[in-house]
């Protein structure tokens, strides 16, 4: 297994890039620790597949170096990097048995048949494929096939990392959680470096210990799922993670108070102090779940009107108007919805300040 370093990487598909917008990857500089479970999350066109191709060696970046365990592999092709990949659609030999499919990468490398058998049996056991070993791959369901693709990566004891590119796309929704569970289990048992690319937040947040959120060719935040939810460092993370996304309100800061068209929102001391030094476009961000909604006037409550209510069973989404701004709030099933007027409270812990789209914090 390998520790992977991306050193000052930038890539443009354009031969003579002029400005930032010509770069698919703007400036990527980070490390992927040996044995880590990582997800690369972002919308289509954000550059995540380009980055994956730089890591695997399918693409040589315009700038920067790729290091595996300290060794420069920037110019090496994928087969020299010992990378295994699992794609959206299972890539298998349909006419071969499951056993032979799993054995293929080992036999290809001239490994002794006794060792091949031992490794294949081990991996089949981990992936619950033992009963299917003598079956032809052609007749199996998509989830079993995708497990075989994964198994072909796992059999190689020298594999540096396994890269997954949207691997659950073709899997039935009700089987997805079982495969996610299997992937987690494999990671816990084998401690491999796993990199999982997806636009689906459920897959990224469920699979990874560390999620890298990518937006317009930049890694805008690297953190645990909880950090992305509770402390989004970039407006895009606030918007993209969670449903509905974070509310944002343009504001000015005056002492400890953020002013939004006449409404005052109290900030915590640290944020207020940092805001004094900050310059740029200021916005308050708060998640719908963290906005308190009251049916009666409360201390520190800002008056608002309820425009519409969407019942989703376990909770309700309210669309409210506060000081001329539309906000979404989320109320648990048991809480009564105010009919017209409501009072909103922004708990200090959850009212975040953004300057030019980036979180103000220490």
Partner 1 sequence: MGLSLQNINKMVGQEIHLENINLEFESGSRNVLLGRTLAGKTSLLRIMAGIDRPSHGKILIDGEDTTGVWVRKRSVAMVYQQFINYPSLTVYKNIASPLKVSGVPKPEIDRRVRETSKMLHIDDLLDRLPAELSGGQQQRIAIARALVKDAQLLLLDEPLVNLDYKLREDLRIELQEIFERREAIVVYTTTEPAEALMLGGNVVVLDEGRVLQTGATPDVYHNPANTKVAEVFSDPPINYLHCTVEGQTARMGENIEFPLTNHLQSLPAGQYTFGVRSHHLSLNRTSTDDTEIRTKVQLAEINGSETFIHANYDNSRLVVQKDGVHPHRMGTEISIYIHPSCIFAFDAAGVLVASPALNRLGV
If the CB atoms of residues 9 and 322 are measured against partner 1, the closer one turns out to be 322
Q: Give residues in contact with partner 1 (CB under 8 A).
A: 43, 177, 180-181, 184-185, 188, 199, 201-202, 205-206, 224-226, 228-230, 239-245, 287, 289, 308, 310-315, 317, 319, 330, 332-336
Residues in the chain: 362
If the CB atoms of residues 66 and 127 are measured against partner 1, the closer one turns out to be 127
* Spatial CA neighbour of 286 closest among 325, 341, 312: 325
* Structure tokens, 122: 């081990």
State the nearest-atom distance from the C-beta of 148 to partner 1, in Å.
21
Give one DSSP letter per residue of 71-127, joined into a string: EE-TT--GGGTTEEEE-SS----TTSBHHHHHHHHHHHTT--HHHHHHHHHHHHHHT
If the CB atoms of residues 81 and 328 are measured against partner 1, the closer one turns out to be 328
The answer to whether the CB of 214 falls within 8 A of the CB of 48 is: yes
Alpha-carbon distances of 72 from 12, 159, 336, rounded to whole Å = 21, 17, 61
State the nearest-atom distance from the C-beta of 231 to partner 1, in Å.
11
State the nearest-atom distance from the C-beta of 172 to partner 1, in Å.
9
If the CB atoms of residues 110 and 334 are measured against partner 1, the closer one turns out to be 334
State the nearest-atom distance from the C-beta of 178 to partner 1, in Å.
9
If the CB atoms of residues 93 and 315 are measured against partner 1, the closer one turns out to be 315
The answer to whether the CB of 152 falls within 8 A of the CB of 104 is: yes
Alpha-carbon distances of 272 from 259, 266, 315, 346, 354, rounded to whole Å = 12, 9, 33, 15, 12
State the nearest-atom distance from the C-beta of 318 to partner 1, in Å.
11
């Amino acid at each position: 297994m390998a520790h992977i370093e991306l050193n000052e990487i930038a890539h443009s598909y354009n031969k003579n890039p002029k400005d930032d917008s010509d770069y698919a990857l703007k400036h990527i500089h980070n490390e992927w620790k040996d044995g880590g479970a990582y997800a690369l999350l972002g919308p289509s066109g954000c550059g995540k597949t380009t980055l994956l191709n730089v890591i695997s060696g399918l693409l040589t970046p315009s700038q920067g170096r790729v290091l595996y365990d300290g060794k420069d592999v920037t110019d090496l092709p994928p087969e020299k990097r010992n990378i295994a990949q699992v794609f959206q659609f299972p890539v298998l030999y349909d006419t071969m048995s499951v056993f032979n499919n799993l054995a293929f990468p080992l036999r290809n490398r001239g490994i002794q048949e006794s060792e091949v058998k031992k490794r294949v049996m081990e991996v089949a056991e981990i992936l619950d494929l033992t009963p299917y070993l003598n079956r032809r791959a052609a007749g199996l369901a998509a989830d079993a096939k995708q497990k075989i693709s994964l198994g072909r990566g796992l059999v190689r004891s020298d594999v540096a990392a396994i890269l997954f590119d949207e691997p659950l796309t073709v899997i039935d929704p009700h089987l997805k959680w079982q495969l996610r569970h299997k992937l987690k289990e494999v990671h816990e048992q084998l401690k491999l470096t796993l990199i999982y690319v997806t636009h689906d937040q459920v897959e990224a947040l469920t699979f990874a210990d560390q999620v890298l959120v990518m937006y317009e060719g930049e890694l805008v935040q690297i953190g645990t799922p909880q950090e992305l939810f509770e402390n989004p460092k970039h407006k895009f993370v606030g918007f993209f993670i969670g449903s509905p996304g974070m509310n944002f309100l343009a504001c000015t800061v005056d002492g400890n108070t953020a002013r939004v068209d006449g409404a005052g929102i109290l900030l915590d001391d640290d944020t207020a102090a940092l805001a004094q030094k900050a310059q740029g476009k200021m916005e308050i961000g708060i998640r719908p779940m963290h906005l308190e909604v009251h049916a009666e006037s409360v201390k520190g409550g800002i008056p608002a009107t309820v425009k519409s209510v969407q019942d989703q069973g376990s909770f309700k989404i309210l669309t409210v108007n506060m000081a001329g701004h539309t906000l979404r709030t989320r109320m648990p099933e048991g809480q009564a919805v105010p009919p017209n007027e409501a009072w909103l409270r922004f708990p200090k812990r959850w009212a975040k300040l953004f300057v030019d789209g980036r979180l103000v914090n220490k």
